[in-house]
């Protein structure tokens, strides 16, 4: 009788130890996923910061252009409309949960970048505008912001990639599925970016 009871106690103790080890492993995997997820959110907030900086600079640029040149109205109207589209999309980490919202945001930001490029290209035809100190300073700030956007988007993609790899790796993927962790989207190149533009002289 004592041997049977002792065997049951050993088995019970073994099961408790196994449950503790398994619980600690699950907790470690969960905490690692949370840490990686927070890094993605931090990288996203940096992207939001530079998008917001560009968004805030545009009205000053448009007003400077309006004030200096009898400028092509359609060009700065396009910039204003593209900025308004970007403003309609709420910038938050929630966008990361919805791939379609993420793509809409990216399309709106791409359109804004495109219209700003057109604005600067057309500005080359206006010597008064090119000589205007405010315009040159805003142009420089926007160019710097565009570079920051590219850097922060690259960092975001690297952070999202590390998170997604961890999320999909075995056996962490079972813990991720258990607690509902989801993959994060990546920024992608704009359509047609792989095709070099044709330059005619």
Quick one: tokens of 40? 């993605």
Q: Where are the domains of the chain?
A: 24-179
* Model confidence pLDDT, tens digit, residues 98-142: 888 888 888 889 888 888 888 888 777 777 777 788 888 888 888
Return the CATH number of 24-179, one of 3.40.50.720, 3.40.50.1110, 2.40.50.1040, 1.20.1440.20. Answer: 1.20.1440.20
Q: Which of 28, 34, 82 is nearest to 54 (CA)?
A: 82
* Model confidence pLDDT, tens digit, residues 38-66: 999 999 999 999 999 999 988 888 887 77
- What contacts 164, CB < 8 A, 6 or more positions away? 183, 184
Alpha helices in 69-94, H assignment, sequence order: 73-88
CA-CA distances (angstroms) from residue 147 to 63, 82, 144?
23, 19, 5
Question: Average pLDDT over the chain, rounded to whole?
Answer: 83
* Model confidence pLDDT, tens digit, residues 132-150: 888 888 888 888 999 999 9
């Amino acid at each position: 009788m004592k041997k049977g009871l002792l065997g049951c106690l050993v088995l019970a103790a073994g099961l408790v130890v196994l449950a503790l080890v398994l619980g600690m492993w699950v907790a470690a995997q969960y905490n690692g996923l949370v840490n990686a997820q927070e890094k993605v959110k931090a990288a996203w907030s940096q992207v939001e910061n530079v998008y917001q900086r560009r968004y805030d600079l545009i009205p000053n640029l448009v007003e400077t252009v309006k004030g200096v040149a009898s400028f092509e109205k359609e060009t700065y109207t396009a910039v204003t409309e593209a900025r308004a589209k970007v403003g309609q999309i709420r910038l938050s980490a929630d966008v990361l949960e919805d791939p379609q919202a993420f793509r809409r945001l990216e399309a709106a930001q791409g359109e804004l970048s495109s219209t700003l490029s057109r604005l600067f290209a057309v500005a080359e035809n206006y010597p008064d505008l090119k000589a205007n100190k405010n315009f040159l300073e805003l142009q420089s700030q926007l160019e710097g912001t565009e570079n920051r956007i590219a850097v922060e988007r690259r960092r975001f993609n690297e952070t999202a990639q590390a998170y997604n790899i961890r999320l999909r790796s075995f056996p962490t993927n079972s813990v991720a599925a258990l607690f509902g962790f989801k993959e994060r989207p990546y920024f992608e190149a704009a359509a047609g970016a792989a095709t070099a533009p044709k330059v005619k002289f």
